[in-house]
Amino acid sequence: MTDAAPLDGPAAPPASGGPARRLILLLHGYGADGTDLIALAPVLAPLFPDAAFHAPHAPEPCEVMPFGRQWFSFTRHDPEMWRRDAANLEPALEMMTEGAASAAPSLNATIDSLMSRYGVGPASTALVGFSQGTMMALHVAVRRPAPLAAVVGFSGALTGAARLADEITARPPVTLVHGEADPVVPFPALAHAEAALRAAGVPVAAHGRPGLEHGIDEAGLEIAAAALEAAFAAADVQ
């Protein structure tokens, strides 16, 4: 699908000890790396014992955190713009669209390479993102040739909503979870993503978490696990 090189990062094999029948990619946020979200693998593995987990490192060194990674730059897009005034949310996200698009080939190459390695198809592959990783999961999943099993996004946002109607090629089920007290990615980003995805025909479930800041809580993990279980079960009966 792309000539870009796949990304490396930590991984966890199926807890069953057998061959992988599922593939779950964990996409970290700005300033972190794959070692951050691979911590979700032992939490989810008991529910998905036949799943291989991979947490690729984003392609660029982080511009503000010397030991972290970034999918694309935030500083050149004025990241405070969307926090100063809610009216700036959509313009700020549109400004970030090119950044997400620039990182998409590397993420697509990673997805394709891992599906080939494990011999699994799109219906057995899911993306789970956090923050900027959610932005990447949403950007890529709706522009792939075939729908993935599911996308779960924590504390993220949708870039490129204005282009979605013209660029969408796949409509995987999407589950979004966002802290209502998030000081990093404004909570209204949840409603923005939900509305734009629904308008494009994407099945989406959106969940606000009262009192939660920029993070993942136990209730959010339960929502994510249920969404993944439902998606994989639906794929099994097709």
**How many of the other CB atoms lie within 10 Å of CB of 121?**
13
Active site residue 113: no
Task: Name the active-site residue from 28, 131, 139, 155.
Answer: 131
Active site residue 73: no
DSSP string covering 148-213, please? -SEEEEES-----GGGHHHH------EEEEEETT-SSS-THHHHHHHHHHHHTT--EEEEEETT--
Q: Where does 5-96 have alpha helices with state H? A: 34-37, 41-44, 81-84, 89-95
**How many of the other CB atoms lie within 10 Å of CB of 233?**
10
Torsion from C-alpha of 65, 88, 184, 105, nearest 10 degrees: -50
Single-letter amino acid, residue 233: A
Active site residue 178: no
The Cα–Cα gap between 100 and 161 comes to: 12
Q: Between helices 132-141 and 97-118, what is the axis angle to 10°?
A: 70
Cβ atoms of 42 and 78 within 8 Å: the answer is no
Chain centre distance of CA 83: 22
Q: Which residues are catalytic?
A: 131, 182, 214
